[in-house]
Structure 1
Amino acid sequence: MTRNPAVRDLTCRDCGDSFDPADATGPCPACGGHLAVTYDLDAVDVSTEAFADRRYEGIARYADLLPFAAETLVTMREGTTPLVPCPDLADEWGVGEVYVKDEGRNPTGSVADRGMALGVTAAAEAGAEDVALPTTGIEGQAAAAYAARAGLDSHSFVPSRATFDAKAMINVHGGDMSVVGGRYEDAVEAFAETVAEEGWHSLAAFETPYRREGHRTLAYELAEQLDWAAPDAVIYPTGEGVGLAGTAAGARDLAELGFVDEVPECYAAQAAGCAPIVEAFEAGATETEPWETPDTICGGIEIPDPAGGAEVLDAVGESGGGAVATVDRDVLEAAVDVAQSAGVELGATAGVAASGARELVERGELGADDTVVLVNTLTGNAEADVLRSHLMSKGI
């Protein structure tokens, strides 16, 4: 496996054992826990000026801080997405600045591209021929696209309620798709049974340690776009948790390297109808409990038993952030408000970042001098029908 020499090993967050990356590509061989890439940051020889010189290379510009060399990455120049200022929202909320990190501008229209670029690279480096994952939709679209680019076959297990567009694009990219009756947890069950039989390389969140690594780059971009200053708060729509966990890890790396002075407070934003991370955070728990009856229009984050629940709770706790849940109507109203005040097309699901931020302002957790970043995890076109239906319900 061609890897960055700064990579030290893969370490299990559950049992603490460490492994050579060439010998472990999935869960911990000792206990089945989640592996994480660990780095010797003292061995990283890179400057902020070097990133500026590579501005057109997408996330590959940060290869010095990633597991693989730039030339080995399966990439479509994902990343380098706009950080859009929203002064009207800042004035309305009474905070210093509001930005939307618009991940809808990625090649397949979602933040999932960052993680899939690294996950598929790892699969290709390991000699896999097939990759597979359970998905609410957008991750399967990204996996199919990057697998196609790498010459691999992809298999997505999708709940029947996933959006038509995501299911269509999985097929357009040549991906095999199993549509599973029921909700996401039913797709997870079908995936687990089939992967065990077929021996496919898993791209499921946290079963591969590499998807999280791709999401570190969001933190790197935020700091760079803010002239190497960390925002005060990052509000992240959260389902399985791989995006927030990766972003928080990237922010910690930047602080340890001395590129920024501090890490942002990270907040997991969820829909009130399925908020296991919020429930656990408010209870002071270190792990999540399955949400018994998930019920939200935000299908992309309707994850009743998130694989990364413990990692997210660690991340928000260590950063001084937290978790916030809002009801569906407020989520959709917030997404529309951002579109009509700032012109940015949030995915309906990503509206939890805006409605969550408003709730945090009302609680007094975001203040007058704070720089607040809302992560728009997917393009508004992906869930345009949901947003339009919300407007129609108001007689518009």
Structure 2
Amino acid sequence: MKNVLYGKCVKCGKTYPTTPDLTTCTCGGILDIVYDYDAIRREFTKETLAARSERTMWRYRELLPVEETTAPTPLRVGWSPLYEESRLAEQLGLGRLWVKDDGQNPTASLKDRASAMAVAKAREAGAQVIACSSTGNAASSLAGNAAAAGLETFIFVPSRAPKGKVAQLMTFGATVISVEGSYEETFELSKAAIDRWGWYNRNAAINPYLSEGKKTVALEIMEQLNWQVPDYIAISVGDGCTIAGLWKGLKDLHAIGFIDRLPRLISAQAAGCCPLNRAIETGEPWHPMEENTLADSIAVGVPRNADKALMAIRESNGLTVNVSDEEILEAQKLLGRTCGVFGEPAGVTGTAGVKKLCQQGVLGKEDTVVSVVTGNGLKDVANAIRACGEPITIPSDMGRLLEAFHQKGIPLE
């Protein structure tokens, strides 16, 4: 990897050669992948990028920790749409608003970016089996991307994982272990199993390459905005890996001169499980919390990538916002009805946070915001129905139809 220098511990600063199976530092800290920005600047320009026809995350290879000979993974991951939503911006009282719909990735979540990277690095390591723990999306993304590459997967999920996500896992042929316990207990069991059988580790807080896959969402946003930096980028936060990857991508672009400033991040967490935001707001170290939210993908009471996530929020002079489950469901409905974007509860938490900050007067008409929707609503249809209600159900009778319209208050000519 000619553009990669080493992996560096975010806690103690120790450096490591970037072998394909790189994990954490001996002190327990997670590693950051450090690049040779001078070399990248010499060969990677906006013009060379614009000339590329490939519309996947692999169009940014110079900024990714893969060998030149490593083939792109089989599924089309990345280059999800970025919509400017002027009606919603006006409704919220924002200057401009864009929605990045990452639920349009192959397995319907942003986590495909990390899993594609895991598959690429597993191939480099010569591994045939990949494993992880997950609240759902990382699991289904790994199972799908690995299946397409012919690799076997072992997936550990908490028993509360929505059926839609478990159905994906089973369809992709993963060996699924549903753990009767919290995400923390699920993670510990997966870690013990990975250590025992030597499987390739896809856990994002252990494997430093996975944030490098996630950071491609930032690279895409900036390219899709023609390198014009918004004031804020909002994203839902659970384990901390995604916001850390988002910030890394932005810093990479700034380091090579593709953007002239950095946006502020908005870290949106569920009020029932917000250990990282609480640490920022109190100025104290983070402490575990109960996983008390319907937004299962961000229900992480013991965040495994806290160091990088907290660093990202602080370095960006970011904002934190905690939203209730009711506010999350309202945002799900709002995005659907104003933008035609169907996000799962965790996926729309960033937008719920933006809405709340607008209501509080923190954001307003002078601000430009990108909100990332990290997962598709079909992942969790039960909560979508809870947010929007049941359909009108009647016999095939015009009289009953008119009566139902009247009861619903639907105006008719």
State the TM-score bracket (shorter-chain normalisation).
Answer: over 0.9
Distance in 2 (CA, whole Å) between partners of 1:298 and 1:70 is 39
The change in CA–CA distance for 1:14 and 1:252 in structure 2 (over 3 A counts) is same
Deviations 1:1-24 (A, max 9, x none): xx3x11001111122111111285
Matched-pair contact (CA < 8 Å) for 2:20–2:122: no
Pair 1:390 & 2:387 matched: yes
Deviations 1:128-171 (A, max 9, x none): 22111110111111111222233221111011111112111112
What residue identity is the alignment partner of 2:370? Answer: V
How far off its partner does 1:360 sit? 1.6
Deviations 1:323-360 (A, max 9, x none): 21110001101110110111111212222111100122
Matched with 2:247 is 248
1:40 to 18, 36, 43: 36
What residue identity is the alignment partner of 1:61? Answer: R
Pair 1:172 & 2:168 matched: no
Matched-pair contact (CA < 8 Å) for 1:98–1:372: yes
Structure showing greater radius of gyration is: 2
Deviations 1:25-81 (A, max 9, x none): 2112x3232111100100002111222222433011100111113753324221110
Distance in 1 (CA, whole Å) between partners of 2:152 and 2:286 is 33
Deviations 1:146-198 (A, max 9, x none): 22233221111011111112111112112111011123222112212222222
Matched-pair contact (CA < 8 Å) for 2:239–2:304: yes
Matched-pair contact (CA < 8 Å) for 1:73–1:118: no
Matched with 1:53 is 51
Matched with 2:296 is 299
Secondary structure at the aligned position of 2:130 is classed as strand
TM-score (norm 2): 0.90
Pair 1:338 & 2:335 matched: yes
Matched-pair contact (CA < 8 Å) for 2:269–2:323: yes
| 1:1-396 equivalent positions in 2, closer than 5 A | 3=1, 5-22=2-19, 25-28=22-25, 30-44=26-40, 45-68=43-66, 69=68, 71-285=70-284, 287-291=285-289, 293-392=290-389
What residue identity is the alignment partner of 1:109? Answer: A
The change in CA–CA distance for 1:93 and 1:394 in structure 2 (over 3 A counts) is farther
Distance in 1 (CA, whole Å) between partners of 2:300 and 2:214 is 19
Distance in 2 (CA, whole Å) between partners of 1:242 and 1:54 is 29
How far off its partner does 1:277 sit? 1.0
- Which of 148-157 and 80-89 deviates more? 148-157
Distance in 2 (CA, whole Å) between partners of 1:344 and 1:51 is 28
- Which of 49-58 and 246-255 deviates more? 49-58
What is the aligned-residue identity percentage?
Answer: 34
The change in CA–CA distance for 1:23 and 1:392 in structure 2 (over 3 A counts) is closer
Distance in 2 (CA, whole Å) between partners of 1:188 and 1:330 is 29
Distance in 2 (CA, whole Å) between partners of 1:112 and 1:359 is 25
Secondary structure at the aligned position of 1:277 is classed as helix
Matched-pair contact (CA < 8 Å) for 2:10–2:307: no
Deviations 1:278-328 (A, max 9, x none): 11110123x42111x221111111000111112111101111112211100
Matched-pair contact (CA < 8 Å) for 2:70–2:120: no
Distance in 2 (CA, whole Å) between partners of 1:210 and 1:364 is 38
How far off its partner does 1:243 sit? 1.2
Distance in 2 (CA, whole Å) between partners of 1:392 and 1:367 is 31
Secondary structure at the aligned position of 2:266 is classed as strand
Secondary structure at the aligned position of 1:253 is classed as helix
How far off its partner does 1:393 sit? 8.9
Matched-pair contact (CA < 8 Å) for 1:233–1:267: yes
What's the RMSD between the two structures over aligned residues? 1.8
Secondary structure at the aligned position of 1:72 is classed as coil
Distance in 2 (CA, whole Å) between partners of 1:366 and 1:191 is 41
What residue identity is the alignment partner of 1:13? Answer: V
TM-score (norm 1): 0.94
Distance in 2 (CA, whole Å) between partners of 1:254 and 1:61 is 14
Distance in 2 (CA, whole Å) between partners of 1:22 and 1:314 is 25
The change in CA–CA distance for 1:71 and 1:203 in structure 2 (over 3 A counts) is closer
Deviations 1:108-146 (A, max 9, x none): 110001111112211221122211111011111111122
Q: Give the number of aligned pairs.
A: 390
